[in-house]
Amino acid sequence: MKKSFLMLIAVFLCVGIAGTAFAGGPKEKAPEKEKKLIVWDWQVMENYMAAYEVINKMFMEKYPDVVVERKAIASGEFEKQLKPVLSSGEPPDIFQVQLGAQAAGYYEAGILHDFYPDWKADPEWQKLIDYKNDPTYAGWWYKDKLISLPAFDEWIHAVYYYKDMLKKYGWDKPPRTVDEWIEISKKLNNDNIIPLMTAFGPNSIVWIPNELWVETVCQKYGANALLDIQSKKVKWSDPIWKEGLHAIKRMMDNGVFNKDVTSAEYFPDVMTRFQNKQAFAFYIAGDWTIGSMNEEDVKSGNIGVTTLPLAWKDSRPGYGNSSGVCYGMLPDHPKKQLVIDYIKYTQSAEAGKVWLQYNIHPTSIPSATLPVDNPLMKEVIKESTQKDYWYTPHLFVQDAELGTRLVENLGNFFLGRMTVDELCKDLDDFMAQR
């Protein structure tokens, strides 16, 4: 049953937390508890859970006087549990943060520490991650503040598909353009196969439709599309933005996406249906999903990778990439150095070998030279680093109020309650009042 998209705002932002509640920061701990590191995140997939267990054990062996206590909470419940704990005086030492509007809202409320001075003063850390010069981390910056830390994994957004289905339906290569996707959907829909498995429901509207729209526009406009919107260099009613949204709607109207694309469920239901081969392809998928795909299909090379649907004839193929797991900390936390040591360890080459072992693509500089055994991840890296391709930074709206408006309008649009023109005009009117 479809649920109202208006419930998205609380899930998306959760920024209505009074900054004054955090002015005092975490309470001082008794000396014996100073070496305990409490970590909260929502990485509950099996491969992440297993990898974390190994990494944390290795960290504690390196720091024998430290105990790491990790709490993994499904994303739908994470914010519900985090908000009251943050103001309780007993918050986790480090907690996962959603980039963009949520992180910006948290920082404005006085909830997040600026790590940039710490990184700048630490040459060892700079050898692991070059934050300032890599656009991958654009989403974690806010007003020149490094308000949360990309930890260990890199996501390369792509479309994954079954190669044996290509052969079955007589295709030589996967569809690339919107028109090609619409064309192949006719045969697939007749066999009750979902052409492109995805979801625009409340649990995913935060990032999937927004990301698809932005990255579609970036094919034509360039990687700074969303940044230029936020700085008012261009308008939402620019023909490129309208045409990009029209392209997505055309795919919806012509059966490219699953019929329940606007339902509340996203993960694991979407992935499960792809695993069961009820769908030809799967989007939005970072390489973080590789560990959840059918192992037999991965090992045999039956799963291929391609770019997002191209909306224009002169679209430039590209991939959205980002650092997937990001942690924040309350300002001037008494365990700041221990938190930094933990983050640095997750970015080390030593840890990188473990992440790769569990089909997680590490993002640190040393890890870039590690061998990759998984054939699908190897194909993703090879495909996405072609010299003719380009990367779109994983950019979300950093303005919390604009983010709220965008999410609400996209929900209404995909449910047929708002036209493209109405959506773009409303966003332009909203920006004009800022």
Task: Identify whether 180 is part of a domain.
Answer: yes
Co-location of 291 and 410 in the same domain: yes
The secondary structure of residue 177, as a DSSP letter, is B
Neighbours of 145 (CB within 10 A): 17
Kindly provide the residue ranges of all beta strands, DSSP E only, lying in 261-338, ordered along the sequence. 279-285, 303-306, 318-323, 326-328
* Least confident stretch, 29-33, 197-201, 258-262, 293-297: 29-33
- The answer on pLDDT for 277 being more than 80 is yes
Predicted confidence (pLDDT) at residue 85 exceeds the cutoff of 70: yes
- The better pLDDT of the pair 24, 383 is held by 383
pLDDT of residue 34: 55
Q: What is the mean pLDDT of residues 343-355?
A: 94
The mean pLDDT of 99-107, rounded to a whole number, is 80
- 205 and 135 both lie in a single domain: no
Q: What is the DSSP letter of 28?
A: P
Q: Is residue 383 part of a domain?
A: no
Residues 296 and 416 in one domain: yes
Distance CA 37, CA 69 (A): 6
Residues 316 and 179 in one domain: yes
Segment 238-264 mean pLDDT:
90
Query: 158-195: per-residue pLDDT in tens?
Result: 899 999 999 999 899 999 999 999 999 999 999 999 99
Maximum average pLDDT range among 55-64, 227-236, 265-274, 380-389: 55-64
pLDDT at 30: 42
Mean pLDDT, the chain, integer: 83
Which secondary-structure segment (H or E) carries 241?
Answer: helix 239-253
Q: Of 19-28, 77-86, 94-103, 212-221, which gets the smallest average pLDDT?
A: 19-28
Helices H / strands E in the chain, number of each: 18, 13
At 292 the pLDDT is 79
210-220: per-residue pLDDT in tens?
888 888 898 88
- 350 in the same domain as 317: no
Q: How large is the average pLDDT for residues 321-337?
A: 87
Residue 147 lies in a domain: yes
Judgement on whether residues 308 and 342 belong to the same structural domain of the protein: no
Please give the pLDDT value at position 204. Answer: 57
Does residue 196 form part of some domain?
yes
pLDDT confidence tier of residue 50, bands split at 50, 70 and 90 = very high
279 shares a domain with 419: yes
Most confident of 233-242, 320-329, 400-409: 233-242
Tokens of 129: 């991650």
Q: Is 130 in the same domain as 183?
A: no
14 and 127 housed in the same domain: yes
Tally of structural domains, the chain: 2
Is the model's pLDDT at 13 over the cut of 80?
Answer: no
Output the pLDDT for position 87: 80
49-58, 144-153, 228-237: the lowest-pLDDT one? 144-153
Residue 230 within any structural domain of the chain: yes
* β partners of residue 149: 327
Check which CATH number belongs to the domain holding 217 and give it. 3.40.190.10
Residues 135 and 232 in one domain: no
Which of 403, 24, 368, 350 is CA-nearest to residue 214? 403
- 159, 379 in Cβ contact below 8 A? no
The residue that leads in pLDDT, 209 or 40, is 40
Average pLDDT over residues 246-266: 86
Q: Residue 388 falls within a domain, yes or no?
A: no
Instruction: Give pLDDT, residue 12.
Output: 37
Structure tokens at 99: 């980039």
Residues 167 and 196 in one domain: yes
Same domain, 312 and 247: yes
Residue 17 has pLDDT above 50, yes or no: no
272 lies in a domain?
yes
**CA atoms of 141 and 131, how far apart (whole Å):** 9
What's the domain range around 144?
Answer: 5-153+324-373
Residue 243 to residue 424: CA distance in whole angstroms: 11
Sign of CA dihedral 298, 356, 55, 96: negative
Do the beta carbons of residue 34 and residue 232 sit within 8 Å? no
Per-residue pLDDT reduced to its tens digit, 356-390: 998 888 888 888 888 888 888 888 888 887 877 77
Q: Decide if 128 is inside a domain.
A: yes
Average pLDDT over residues 299-328: 87
Q: Residue 74's CB: how many other CB atoms inside 10 A?
A: 11
